[in-house]
Amino acid sequence: MYELVTILGPTAGGKTSVAAHLACKLGGEVISGDSRQLYRGMSIGTGKDLADYAVSGVQIPYHLIDIVDAGYRYSVYEYVRDFRKAYEDIRSRGKMPVLCGGSGMYVEAAVTGYSLVEVPPDEQLREELELLSAEELIAKLAALKKLHNATDLDSRKRIIRAIEIALHSQEAPIPQMPPINNLYVGILFDRETRRNRITERLHARLREGMVNEVQQLLDSGMAPENIIYYGLEYKFITEYLIGKLEYHGMVEKLNIAIHQFAKRQMTWFRGMERKGAVIHWIDGFLPMEEKLLQVEQLMNR
């Protein structure tokens, strides 16, 4: 009997809608597995799509969305901790948890039971690393770990933090929690369709006011480099707003970056499969009823 169903896949695949409909059908609740939907004030750029949680007049409960303020540096350690709290709460009420996300590191850490050690800041190490160039920092990080998570390289602060965590993990044992009996279901479109969906969604979000959303973060007093930390939409739009990019150049660079991000997501999921995870891929073109039927059939095997 499965204790969790995880809906995953690359960006712009319609995961949220599938997860919400599945939760509605199962009488369950959704846990977000997205590393940026945690932040308040970052809705359009992170694709929270909260309207998707209203299914046939029913509001589907969701967890781990809008739980910390923008500007906070939320860690994978904190995610695993908070995921377990939400998961156990849902199960204790006799409901089925449905995990939904494209952040492979967060999803894998939650499902497989890895509990990362909370790494305190090492100010002396940070001062030493600040003296190194970006190239030297990347080389140092590459010597410590395989660079699966490209978001570690988005900024100097991220690279330094990744080095800090890698060095700490060499010294401290990493405790594990029991793995969850989970069913992985992936939503996937062919490559060309995925590319078109990504580009169409980007332009839709720009029309919805994504630039204004980032401007509001700047107006609230957040430093540009702290917004850039969140990558993709927040990185490129911030650079546009502070005058580093012109608008059309920003849109073009952002579009390319999101396509590259989708490729990295698929690389992560394929890596999970190589390590033994069984991901049942469902055609994104199928009607919602057929997708749900396939998931139910998988659950009943």
Range of the domain at 47: 4-116+176-196+265-299
CA gap 27, 39 in Å, rounded: 26
Q: What is the pLDDT of residue 73?
A: 87
DSSP string, the chain: --SEEEEE-STTS-HHHHHHHHHHHHT-EEEE--SSTTEET--TTTT--GGGGEETTEE--EESSS-EETT----HHHHHHHHHHHHHHHHHTTPPEEEEES-HHHHHHHHHTB-PPP----HHHHHHHTTS-HHHHHHHHHHHS----GGGGSSHHHHHHHHHHHHHHHHS---BPPPP-EEEEEEE--HHHHHHHHHHHHHHHHHHTHHHHHHHHHHTT--HHHHHTT-HHHHHHHHHHTTSS-HHHHHHHHHHHHHHHHHHHHHHHHHHHHTT--EEEEETTS-HHHHHHHHHHHHT-
Domain contains 165: yes
Q: What is the pLDDT of residue 116?
A: 59
Q: What is the pLDDT of residue 76?
A: 85
* pTM: predicted TM-score of the whole model, two decimal places: 0.83
> Average pLDDT, stretch 158-164?
87
The backbone torsions φ and ψ at residue 6, rounded to the nearest 5 degrees and listed phi first, read -110, 120
Lowest mean per-residue pLDDT among 23-27, 105-109, 256-260: 105-109
Q: 219: which residues sit within 8 A by CB, 6+ positions away?
A: none
My answer on whether 64 and 144 are in the same domain is no
- Taking 70 as the threshold, does the pLDDT of residue 173 lie above it? no
Domain contains 248: no
Domain contains 212: no
Instruction: Give per-residue pLDDT as tens, 270-294.
Output: 999 999 999 999 999 999 999 999 9
| The two structure tokens encoding residue 254 | 């952002």
Domain contains 207: no
Instruction: Give per-residue pLDDT as tens, 217-270.
Output: 999 999 999 999 999 999 999 999 999 999 999 999 999 999 999 999 999 999
My answer on whether 107 and 124 are in the same domain is no
Domain contains 222: no
- Taking 80 as the threshold, does the pLDDT of residue 121 lie above it? yes
Q: What is the pLDDT of residue 12?
A: 94
> Average pLDDT, stretch 8-35?
97
- Taking 70 as the threshold, does the pLDDT of residue 152 lie above it? no
> Average pLDDT, stretch 23-31?
97
Q: List the CATH number of the domain containing 19.
A: 3.40.50.300
My answer on whether 13 and 56 are in the same domain is yes
> Average pLDDT, stretch 26-42?
96
User: What is the overall mean pLDDT for the chain?
Assistant: 92
Greatest pairwise CA separation for the chain in angstroms:
57
| pLDDT confidence bin for 117, thresholds 50/70/90 | low
My answer on whether 131 and 163 are in the same domain is yes
- Number of Cβ within 10 Å of residue 192's Cβ equals 8
